[in-house]
Amino acid sequence: MIITIQKLYPPIRKFKPFQNNKANVGRKKKGKKKNKSKSGKVYLARYKTKTGKTQYYTGQTNKTPKERMRTHKKNKDFLGKQRNVKLVGVINSSNRFKAEKTIKNMPKKKKLKLFRKKR
C-alpha cells in the first residue's frame, strides 16, 4: 500500500486576517482614510426665538454659507425651524473645525466683534 505524503500531512492553511476566528471577532478592516478638506468657512447666524429673544448660531461649511442656510431650511433642523434667520458674517479658515470650536466658546460680544470686522 502506497500512501502519499499529502495524505499523511495535509497542507497547512495560512492564517487569513479577519477570518471568523476568536482573535478577530468584532474587528473591522482598516482601509485608507479619506483626507477631509479642513479648509472652509465659519458663519454666524442670528435668529429670533418664539419669545422674541435674539440668539446666535455658529456653524461651519465647505460650501457657501447661503447654500448651507438653504439646507438648514430644507431639512427643517434646529436652525431651519427658526424664523427670521439672517447671516451676520462669514470667516474663511484653513481649519474650519478648530475655528468653529474656538468661536463657539467665545462670549457673545467677542463673536459679534470678530464677525463685524471681517465684513
The answer to the question of residue 67 being in a domain is yes
Range of the domain at 78: 39-107
The answer to the question of residue 17 being in a domain is no
Q: Is the pLDDT of residue 42 over 90?
A: yes
DSSP secondary structure string, 65-84? Answer: HHHHHHHHHHHT-HHHHSEE
The answer to the question of residue 8 being in a domain is no
> Which residue has better confidence, 72 or 24?
72
The answer to the question of residue 19 being in a domain is no
Q: Quick one: cell of 49? A: 426665538
**Amino acid (one-letter) located at 15:** F
Q: 0.75 cut: is pTM over it? A: no
Spatial CA neighbour of 111 closest among 96, 94, 89, 93: 89
Band (82; pLDDT cuts 50, 70, 90): confident
Band (90; pLDDT cuts 50, 70, 90): very high
The answer to the question of residue 16 being in a domain is no
Spatial CA neighbour of 40 closest among 57, 60, 59: 60
Q: How many structural domains comprise the chain?
A: 1
Left if phi > 0, otherwise alpha if psi is -120 to 50, otherwise beta: which for 20?
beta
The answer to the question of residue 25 being in a domain is no
